[in-house]
Amino acid sequence: MNKKAWIVSLLFCLTLIAAPAVYAQGGVKAGPDPSTLRDPELEKDSLHNLEVARNYFKLKKAYVAALARLEEIIAGNPNFSRIEEVYLMAGQSSLWLAAGKGKQKSDQYYTMEGGVKHTLTAEQLKDLGRQYLSKLVNDYPTSPFSKEAEEELKAVGGPLPKTTNP
């Protein structure tokens, strides 16, 4: 009988020791946040587009070409790991095109609506730039690019108010 009591007390002690470890692992209710899941191929493609856009933006001052690449990233991969830099460059490209800076003319930038080309006016380009920079400032306030975006926004009336999606 003494041997049985010893075995039961040993099992009881082992259960007490193991219980916290099992409990600590039981708190997971869902997988990772879907906004942080990234497709490696899409990420690679977006990174390539960003590098090309940087080249157009910084070296060639071709803001129309840079904006086209950046908008492709925004439309195709909104969860891109470097989306903050994309918003900054897209905003700056739009504002600088509106101001007549760079080697490309602002009338080279157009949008397609219903199969019809629409060239944007300088005011529309300025609004577009303000939208991109406001998105950066409002959605990524701790981003290293936010301060630069805020500086750009001062010249166009500051950031737009943050909108909430229903």
Burial class, 53, CB count within 10 angstroms (exposed 0-12 / middle 13-18 / buried 19+): buried
pLDDT of residue 27: 59
Structure tokens at 97: 């095109």
Domain layout of the chain by residue ranges: 38-154
133 touches 149 (CB < 8 A): yes
pLDDT of residue 166: 43
CATH code: domain 38-154 is 1.25.40.10
- Tens digit of each residue's pLDDT (9 = 90 or more) over 97-136: 999 999 999 889 988 888 899 899 999 999 999 999 999 9
Helix, strand, coil percent content, the chain, rounded in steps of 5: 65, 5, 30
Element (H, E) at 118: strand 116-119
In this structure, which amino acid lies at residue 133?
Answer: L
pLDDT of residue 94: 97
Confidence of residue 158 (pLDDT cuts 50, 70, 90): confident
- Tens digit of each residue's pLDDT (9 = 90 or more) over 31-55: 555 556 789 999 999 999 999 999 9
